A and B are shown apart, each in its own frame.
Chain A
Amino acid sequence: MTDHALVIGTRKGMVVARPRASDGGWDADPLLFTPSPVTAVASDPRTGRLLAALNNPFWGVSIAVSDDLGRTWTEPAREADTAPIAFPEHTGTALRDVWQLRFSPTEPDVVYAGAEPAALFRSEDGGMTFDLVEGLWNHPHRPSWKPGAGGLCLHTVLPDPTDPDTVTIAISAAGVYRSTDGGATWTARNHGITAAFLPDPPPEFGQCVHKVDLHPSRPERMFLQHHGGVYRSDDAGGSWTRIDAGLPADFGFPLVVHPHRPDTLYVLPLNADVDRTPAGHRYQVHRSDDAGATWRALDKGLPEGPCYASVLRDAMCADTLDPAGIYFGTRDGWVYASRDDGETWAEVARHLPDVLCVRAVTR
């Protein structure tokens, strides 16, 4: 029988929720790792091992490991308890946070970490130790990158599903960059992304990209939630076209591609800079089944509102089931799940600390 859980990273620890077989509801385990923000969670597609980034407010970042789908967690002890992700001495830089952990789909034990200040780290030992990807750190654009309101963070890592040398990343507010040579060199991939906060013509970099996702069966097609605007690229980020005409607002943070349908994606629109609350003051997940040509609001089972809490960039995810489960958590600590591709929704947990990330895990 498939074991299934939802790992919820919050501002003050982690909650793991599990579906009840009896009535389809959810049971939430007690809060773990308090008072540490749990900023990123990843699942190894081969083994089901989980990694979580914990940022203790006093003692800094650690990586916790679970081999039983989040029931128990361990941290490296004694001699092995080194700083797992740390900037090398020559950078003169200290790690502030880890906002993304991502296992390579092509190379066993390779894990990427996206950091603040913006940098990419790579592990070849399953996430126990990481090295800075110097090629991106030495990029000539880097001194000109400017932080978004959430800090200068590398928040998205998309390893190519078949080519281990190709990785796409996104940084707020620098934009999308791609390497096709194993991280040695990187090219900005922001052509076509306009920004109200930047003068025309749109620059090569500086866009405030909030999230990018792709489907592994069609990696050249990417979807992107920008600070303003939802975009699609059909050439792996070479150029971007707006696809938000049918949405109630073009602002938002998360964007998730359906696990089995490459042209189906989900966003959760927020009113733009005027107030950054959910569009219409309701949580409405919007789904497109035609790669962004049309959109449909999905809110059956979600609260009537008014709802004023936003949803952060990694606080929405999909599982790998069919039909797909879609999940999101809010900054006022409520978590919702759909087990039918987003058609209907139910509460998973309430009154948590503000939700930073959610990851559905299965094995």
Chain B
Amino acid sequence: MNVTVRIPGALRDLVGAPAAVPLDLPADATVGDALAALDAALPAVGRRVRDETGALRPHVNVFVGADNIRDLAMLATRLEDDAVLNVLPALSGG
């Protein structure tokens, strides 16, 4: 199935990534699968979204459509065809 990952401006500026990355994933793919595919396609983006254990970085959010995966099944959240993932820096800091 086809999934699109949108990359936030702050990260695009940092690593020169495109605004959106199209991914071709198996039919039962999860958010974790999408982020692994993102890492394979764009390692400079992938390593900034997930740490070396594969966990989502604590101050990064991923939305599937309008839903934050932290309110769903995190990286195990299932994706549907034509899903759009938005990677966004979290509201944090001081």
Contacts of A89 in B (CB 8 A): 52-53
Given A60-B48, A86-B47, 11 further pairs, Cβ under 8 A? A58-B48, A58-B59, A58-B89, A59-B11, A60-B57, A79-B43, A81-B43, A82-B43, A87-B52, A92-B53, A95-B51
The reply to whether B53 and A94 contact each other, CB–CB distance below 8 Å, is yes
The reply to whether A59 and B48 contact each other, CB–CB distance below 8 Å, is yes
The reply to whether A83 and B14 contact each other, CB–CB distance below 8 Å, is no
Contacts of A82 in B (CB 8 A): 43-44, 47
Contacts of B15 in A (CB 8 A): 77-78, 81
Residue among A58, A60, A78, A86 having the largest count of chain B Cβ atoms under 10 Å:
A58
Q: How many residues of A contact B (CB 8 A)?
A: 19
The reply to whether B53 and A93 contact each other, CB–CB distance below 8 Å, is yes
CB nearest neighbor in A for B55: A94
How far does the Cβ of B39 sit from chain A's closest Cβ, in whole Å? Answer: 10
Within 8 A of A (CB), among B5-50: 10-11, 14-16, 43-44, 47-49
User: B93 contacts the other chain (Cβ, under 8 Å)?
Assistant: yes
User: B83 contacts the other chain (Cβ, under 8 Å)?
Assistant: no
Within 8 A of B (CB), among A43-71: 56-60
Taking Cβ atoms with an 8 Å cutoff, the residues of A that contact B are 35, 56-60, 77-79, 81-83, 86-87, 89, 92-95
Within 8 A of A (CB), among B49-94: 49, 51-53, 55, 57, 59-60, 89-90, 92-93
Taking Cβ atoms with an 8 Å cutoff, the residues of B that contact A are 10-11, 14-16, 43-44, 47-49, 51-53, 55, 57, 59-60, 89-90, 92-93
Q: Once the chains are docked, how many angstroms separate the CA of A230 from the CA of B53? A: 39
Contacts of B53 in A (CB 8 A): 87, 89, 92-94
Query: Which are the 7 A-B pairs with shortest beta-carbon distances?
Result: A59-B48, A81-B44, A94-B51, A86-B52, A58-B89, A83-B47, A58-B59
Tally inter-chain residue pairs, CB-CB below 8 A. 55
The reply to whether B93 and A83 contact each other, CB–CB distance below 8 Å, is no
The reply to whether B10 and A58 contact each other, CB–CB distance below 8 Å, is yes
How far does the Cβ of B91 sit from chain A's closest Cβ, in whole Å? Answer: 11
Q: Once the chains are docked, how many angstroms separate the CA of A95 from the CA of B59? A: 14
The reply to whether A35 and B52 contact each other, CB–CB distance below 8 Å, is no
Q: Once the chains are docked, how many angstroms separate the CA of A266 from the CA of B44? A: 42
The reply to whether A58 and B52 contact each other, CB–CB distance below 8 Å, is no
Are A94 and B43 also in contact (CB < 8 A) when A58-B60, A59-B57, A78-B16 are?
A: no
The SS class assigned to the A binding surface is loop
Q: Once the chains are docked, how many angstroms separate the CA of A89 from the CA of B54? A: 9
CB nearest neighbor in B for A93: B53
- Please, could you name 20 A-B residue pairs with CB atoms under 8 Å apart, sorted by A? A35-B93, A56-B14, A57-B92, A57-B93, A58-B48, A58-B57, A58-B59, A60-B47, A60-B51, A60-B57, A77-B15, A79-B43, A81-B47, A82-B47, A86-B51, A87-B53, A89-B52, A92-B53, A93-B53, A94-B51
Which one of A59, A78, A79, A94 contacts B52 once the chains associate, using CB atoms below 8 Å?
A94
Contacts of A56 in B (CB 8 A): 14, 48
Contacts of A78 in B (CB 8 A): 15-16, 44
The reply to whether A58 and B90 contact each other, CB–CB distance below 8 Å, is yes
Contacts of B14 in A (CB 8 A): 56, 59
Contacts of B47 in A (CB 8 A): 60, 81-83, 86
Residue among B11, B16, B51, B57 having the largest count of chain A Cβ atoms under 10 Å:
B51
Q: Once the chains are docked, how many angstroms separate the CA of A92 from the CA of B10? A: 29
Contacts of B55 in A (CB 8 A): 94
